[in-house]
């Protein structure tokens, strides 16, 4: 298996509705799409979503990485197996480029590019050999202690920061749709978290698992005080309550708070995980493929969590297309135990479909296993090419 061509595209992805939380409000994405073509004609697709406030990446820095990296080295030899190709893609070094002015970066800088590149190559080599991405995942050495294969998984719903009336409507949708788990965004100025949780809990009932996401809204010294009135609603976890710069203070917060703490913006790479484990900052990792640099690196982070006695969830970026939704489905259907699963919002959130198959979660948040070769979906290539804002040939 040999790479013949790599193409990068900047794809504007419109959302059907604004998504708001304490750190940001989003109505659209500028998404990186990478197309990988092998010498035998097999084609794979990858996706990465830059977030300056998560990994330090912007669409501008993504293009600097793409333009200054020598991708010819990837095409210099042949891969003898899909696992070898996945490893090579995951470990491929990007050029050292400057972040945007005023942006402080750490080791995860460039991860959306790494993710898009790796998933595209993995999709292509799996199609070439007739196996699914899930089949490849379970062959990874780091996946061995985590293998738990299932025919379907169940995704959780989300109530974002919004007006009381919209909170009620959103919670009602969660109940009608039968979600077993719901994430509630908290910490947004001008919105009462207590009123929100009271409203949501009343609508969804006592049997639904509620967890909270503060998106870096608080300071360490305030977390316990802000959480006290929310504890009667039974939250099962609290995600990223403080900014990344303050995350070391969560060691003391964990000792004073009965609710397990999950890291998101502060958990994007192996170095982040090592610091979090050594400092005892959290109980759970939120693993999202784009921010964590792809499938291989995400599996390694999951194994780090397991070996340290921590849990993990599979998260998602707002506005992922079917490419990342499918990659996440393969991750979720083959590994475990995963505490919570997010993603596959596709037609509920993304305005334009870029795959022929609809892999949006079904009633109850159910997502069936994808069994076709590669990602198991058929990309509408002409739709992507016509909508792309920018294009560059990497090889």
Q: Do both 189 and 323 map to the same domain?
A: yes
Residues for the chain: how many in total?
Answer: 395
pLDDT for res 77: 83
Domain-located, residue 373:
no
Average pLDDT for residues 194-210, to the nearest whole number? 97
Of 57, 120, 118, which is closest to residue 92 (Cα–Cα)? 118
Q: How far is CA 39 from each of CA 8, 46, 274, rounded to the nearest angstrom?
A: 18, 18, 39
Average pLDDT for residues 287-296, to the nearest whole number? 99
Domain-located, residue 13:
yes
Determine the Cα–Cα distance for residues 49 and 32; give it in Å rounded to an integer. Answer: 6
Determine the Cα–Cα distance for residues 186 and 189; give it in Å rounded to an integer. Answer: 9
pLDDT for res 38: 98
**What is the extent of the structural domain holding 161?**
141-368
Q: What percent of the chain has pLDDT over 90?
A: 95
Q: Do both 76 and 204 map to the same domain?
A: no
DSSP class of residue 42?
A: -
Q: Which residues contact 74 (CB under 8 A, 6 or more apart)?
A: 3, 6, 88, 89, 92, 121, 395
Assessment of whether the complete model's pTM goes beyond 0.75: yes
Strand, helix or coil at 214? Answer: coil
If one counts every other C-beta atom within 10 angstroms of the C-beta of residue 133, the result is: 29
Longest dimension (CA), the chain: 60
pLDDT for res 76: 83
Domain-located, residue 80:
yes
The torsion region of residue 283 among left (phi > 0), alpha (psi -120 to 50) and beta comes to: alpha
If one counts every other C-beta atom within 10 angstroms of the C-beta of residue 362, the result is: 16
Give Cα 99 distance to the centre of its chain: 21
| Count of the separate structural domains present in the chain | 2
Q: Do both 330 and 359 map to the same domain?
A: yes
Q: Do both 197 and 65 map to the same domain?
A: no
pLDDT for res 25: 77
Domain-located, residue 136:
no
Q: Do both 178 and 274 map to the same domain?
A: yes
Per-residue model confidence as pLDDT tens digits over 165-197? 999 999 999 999 999 999 999 999 999 999 999
pLDDT for res 334: 99
pLDDT for res 248: 97
If one counts every other C-beta atom within 10 angstroms of the C-beta of residue 387, the result is: 17
Q: Do both 181 and 310 map to the same domain?
A: yes
Q: Do both 202 and 117 map to the same domain?
A: no
pLDDT for res 69: 98
Q: Do both 94 and 202 map to the same domain?
A: no
Domain-located, residue 260:
yes
pLDDT for res 49: 98
Per-residue model confidence as pLDDT tens digits over 234-291? 999 999 999 999 999 999 999 999 999 999 999 999 999 999 999 999 999 999 999 9
User: Per-residue pLDDT for 110 more than 80?
Assistant: yes
pLDDT for res 21: 67
pLDDT for res 127: 99
């Amino acid at each position: 298996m040999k790479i013949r061509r790599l193409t990068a595209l900047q794809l504007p992805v419109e959302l059907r509705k604004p998504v708001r939380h304490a750190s940001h409000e989003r109505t659209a994405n500028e998404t990186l799409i990478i197309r990988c073509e092998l010498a035998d004609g097999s084609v794979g697709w990858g996706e990465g979503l830059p977030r300056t406030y998560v990994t330090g990446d912007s669409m501008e820095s993504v293009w600097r990485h793409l333009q200054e990296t020598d991708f010819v080295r990837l095409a210099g030899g042949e891969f003898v197996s899909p696992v070898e190709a996945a490893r090579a893609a995951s470990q491929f070094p990007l050029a050292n480029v400057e972040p945007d002015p005023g942006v402080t970066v750490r080791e995860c800088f460039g991860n959306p590019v790494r993710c898009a590149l790796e998933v595209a190559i993995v999709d292509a080599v799996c199609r070439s050999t007739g196996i699914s991405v899930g089949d490849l995942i379970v062959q990874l050495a780091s996946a061995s202690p985590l293998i738990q294969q299932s025919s379907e998984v169940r995704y959780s719903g989300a109530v974002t920061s919004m007006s009381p009336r919209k909170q009620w409507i959103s919670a009602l949708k969660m109940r009608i749709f039968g979600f077993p788990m719901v994430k509630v965004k908290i910490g947004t100025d001008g919105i009462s978290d207590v009123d929100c949780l009271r409203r949501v809990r009343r609508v969804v009932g006592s049997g639904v698992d509620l967890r909270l996401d503060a998106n870096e809204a608080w300071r360490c010294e305030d977390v316990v005080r802000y959480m006290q009135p929310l504890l009667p609603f039974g939250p099962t976890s609290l995600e990223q309550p403080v900014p990344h710069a303050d995350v070391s203070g969560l060691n003391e917060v964990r000792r004073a708070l009965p609710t397990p703490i999950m890291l998101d913006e502060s958990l994007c790479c192996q170095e982040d995980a090592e610091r979090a484990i050594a400092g005892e900052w959290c109980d759970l990792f939120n693993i999202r493929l784009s921010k964590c640099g792809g499938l291989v690196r995400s599996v390694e982070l999951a194994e780090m969590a397991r070996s340290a006695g921590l849990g993990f969830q599979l998260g998602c970026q707002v506005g992922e297309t079917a490419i990342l939704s499918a990659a996440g489905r393969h991750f979720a259907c083959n590994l475990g135990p995963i505490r919570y699963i997010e993603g596959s919002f596709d037609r509920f959130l993304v305005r334009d479909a870029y795959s022929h198959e609809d892999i949006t979660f079904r009633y109850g948040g159910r997502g069936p296993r994808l069994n076709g070769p590669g990602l198991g979906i058929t990309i509408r290539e002409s739709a992507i090419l016509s909508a792309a804002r920018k294009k560059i040939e990497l090889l």
